[in-house]
Amino acid sequence: MQFLETINTALKAIAANKVRSILTMLGVIIGVFAVVTLISLGKGVQNYITDQFNELGSNLLFISPGTGDFGGDPADSFARNKLSEKHIKLIEENVPAIDLISAYYVASENSRFKTNTFLSEIIGVSYVGNKMFNYELEKGRFFTKSEEKNQAKVMVIGPNVAKNLFSNQNAIGERVDLLGDKYEVIGIFKEKGSNFDDQVILPYTSMENTLDLKNFSSIVLKVKNGYESGFVMKQVDLALFQDLDPDEFQVLSQADILKSIQSILQLLTVALSAIAGISLLVGGIGIMNIMLVSVTERIREIGLRKALGATPFNIALQFLVEAVILSVGGGVVGLMFGALATLFAQTFLRAEMTLSAILLAFVFSAGVGIVFGTYPAIKASKKDPIEALRYE
């Protein structure tokens, strides 16, 4: 009952100085908002990358040049790139667990149709690329093995490419200019995600010819159902060791790549959240400063309460409760703004406010109130009642 009276008294003291209380809470509001929003956005980016990998296909292995460990100079790996047709043959001959295999080229170039130009992601793959990467065709067809072998100038385009180059016209059968070569549009695939819809897919042999490419960007494998990826990766390693040194290639699974990217994103999110948390520290200092001012302003009140029997603990508790109410109140408001920012972000990516982010906001805001409210509370509790009553 006494504790409820303390809370009631603290609320009245806060309400008596509304503007000052709101300004005091502002630092905590901004800090909690920033931390919660950054964590939500970080989670949204992780969800986006996971979704893109799920759209890419399943049971895939990627052979990349160099160490493929996301460290060092990427240019060094590609300078030593030796991946070529013979390595596909080595894998086909020595790894029976492979269901599909394809060379993989990637580049960024302008595609042109009449007066329209669109910067596309050019992808060069084998004729099995649609099965490997789960491309579903909306119109037309995918290129054949014969077209791949003959370096046919044909392309399958994404919905964004079709929209920007052809508007509402029928794109099938039209010819698109790519670095001076004319490619016939033979298919348009369905929407697959923002990371795919800007793509132009070519037979990798045709892309080699047009862009004068010598070595694959990577080799992609699809593992047969029933085989464990780790075991197949070791078989691929042994097959490629016949021609390549260990530091000249790296075999990675989708899980390996996803884990590496997500660990980097998690570290980045924590770092940014820690920087945003500095505003919580500033907010805490603001709370301590205002509470010290409040102690000075209310010396006579403190003396009167002590004269009526209030103990130093009662006085300290009242001021500490005021500080905690200010910080937790700021945390709740910051959390609400963070929720609104997360809802807005969901129009662009799958951001989400996790339970851990909510708990973190409450723990931090309450902790700020306790830590920065303790000193003013102790100072108030040590006031001599006689001197306090004489204070003017």
Q: DSSP letter string over 184-197?
A: EEEEEEPP--TTTT
Q: 145 φ, ψ to 5°? A: -65, -40
- Tokens standing for residue 169: 């016209």
Judged on CB neighbours under 10 Å (0-12, 13-18, 19+), 335 is buried
What's the rounded Cα separation, in Å, for the pair 259 and 267?
12
pTM across the whole model: 0.64
What is residue 71's predicted lDDT score, i.e. its pLDDT? 46
What is residue 38's predicted lDDT score, i.e. its pLDDT? 83
Q: Which residues lie below 8 Å from residue 390, measured CB to CB, with a gap of 6+?
A: 303
Q: Which residues lie below 8 Å from residue 37, measured CB to CB, with a gap of 6+?
A: 337, 338, 341, 342, 345
- Angle between helix 2-15 and 18-56 (nearest 10): 100
What's the rounded Cα separation, in Å, for the pair 326 and 329?
5
Q: Which residues lie below 8 Å from residue 335, measured CB to CB, with a gap of 6+?
A: 32, 33, 36, 358, 361, 362
- Residue segments in the chain with a per-residue pLDDT below the cut of 50: 1, 69-77, 391
What is residue 164's predicted lDDT score, i.e. its pLDDT? 93
* pLDDT tens-digit map of 299-343: 677 777 777 777 777 777 777 888 888 888 888 888 899 889 888
Total length of the chain: 392
What is residue 240's predicted lDDT score, i.e. its pLDDT? 92
* Identity of the residue numbered 33: F
What is residue 1's predicted lDDT score, i.e. its pLDDT? 46
- How many contiguous H segments (helices) and E segments (strands) does the chain have? 15, 10
What is residue 72's predicted lDDT score, i.e. its pLDDT? 45
